[in-house]
Amino acid sequence: MHVQQVVKSEGMQMSNGVPDTIVDNPRISEGFVASFAFLVILITVTTICLSFIKSSFDYFTGRRSVNRTVQCTRISVISESGSSKPSMNFSRFLSFNEFREYYKDLVSDSYYKLSLEFESLKVHGDEMIPCTEGDRGKNHSKNRFVNILPFDNTRVLLSTLEGVPFSDYINANYVSGYYSSDVKKEGPKHEYIATQGPLKNTIDDFWRLCWESKSKCIVMLTRLVDRDREKCAHYWPTSSSPVMYGEIEVEVLSESPESYSVHKWIVMEFKLRHKEQERCVRHYQFQTWPDFESVEPPEALVYFVREVRTYAPYPTLGKPFAPIIIHCSAGVGRTGTFIGVDIAMNQIKMNKAINIPSIVSKMRKERVWMVQTEQQYICIYKCAIAILDEIETVEDADI
């Protein structure tokens, strides 16, 4: 048969029209191998590209993968001994001279040791803090990022609105400061409220937070849009006309730009009204601090923190006190850095000694991932060094 002839010509033995033995055709074999190899390479390259695109998206949006069944977040536990990583005694403050030497050692070799110290603050250990409320019911839609949820034990509870389920929720945590009760028994329990940048559907809740906490100062550490992505909703009036946000009326009384070096911020005065009461609130918006990064030069951040404190002074025994509301986009990175610098300034002033890892560790027990990146952690160190430089300059001038 013709078919048998063709097959035989290709090196096959036929028995009743069925090949008994198959002998590879070099041309067919080589073509198949080449096609298969190309397909494998194509699939591999495509997988790598998709993985890179997803990783880039997660990095810039903060939407890293989250196990939705896990209802708690592991907090940082500092190892004080038994580690090969460079570490200080986290329960001991360093004098100014010790701190300078310690910092020089940390930043040597391209910040390698400081990187290890920052890594040691990350998630490890056995202690767990639940954050279940942020994922319950309608609360899920009130979170800007799925992996930044408030710890249950320190979250700020709003008053419950009648007939509105889950209305006590806002993505915000109380954060202790230098004068808090765990450090100074006569001080307030909480000096700060760390929260996310409001979403369009949480603007009313944000103003309830401001009113119910009796805060007189809001510190905003983000632009509304950064890298073509919304970082915070525009939550205040765009003109001088009052606007109602739920039951809170907000009016812009004044607006003035300020700056230090290359950095700029806007100071606004708001008047809040609720029923028959009214209250003035000052709003600071730092406009030149990119997401995930630090402030250069660090003196600009030191100057900004001090300016905020001229309006919202530290707690004084016997006088009423309300926490400062601080937010960036997620309410953890730049927010934690600002608070860290503020606490470090008090350590320098009151203790004449510094312990930065302890500051960050304590903050992370009250809100997840405070001081989010290594650059922000380094920024706190640089600000502390800048303050020490100022002190030495003044002392030298007095001699």
Considering the candidates 131, 217, 232, 328, report the single residue annotated as catalytic.
328
Residue 65 has pLDDT above 60, yes or no: no
pLDDT single digits (tens) 166-182: 999 999 999 999 988 55
- The structural architecture, per CATH, of the domain 79-398 is Alpha-Beta Complex (3.90)
Candidate from 36-45, 81-90, 132-141 with smallest mean pLDDT: 81-90
pLDDT confidence tier of residue 68, bands split at 50, 70 and 90: very low
Please tell me the pTM assigned to this model.
0.79
Catalytic-residue membership of 328: yes
Domain with CATH 3.90.190.10 in the chain: 79-398
pLDDT single digits (tens) 194-237: 999 999 999 999 999 999 999 999 999 999 999 899 999 999 99
Q: Give a three-class secondary structure readout of the chain.
A: CHHHHHHHHCCCEEECCEEEECCCCHHHHHHHHHHHHHHHHHHHHHHHHHHHHHHHHHHHHCCCCCCCCCCEEEEECCCCCCCCCCCCCCCCCEEHHHHHHHHHHHHHHHHHHHHHHHHHCCEEEEEEEECCHHHCHHHHHHCCCCCCCCCCCCECCCCCCCCCCCCCCCCEEEECCCCCCCCCCCCCCCCEEEECCCCHHHHHHHHHHHHHCCCCEEEECCCCEECCEECCCCCCCCCCCCEEECCEEEEEEEEEEEEECCEEEEEEEEEEEECCEEEEEEEEEECCCCCCCCCCCHHHHHHHHHHHHHHCCCCCCCCCCCCEEEECCCCCHHHHHHHHHHHHHHHHHHHCEECHHHHHHHHCCCCCCCCCCHHHHHHHHHHHHHHHHHHHHHHHHHC
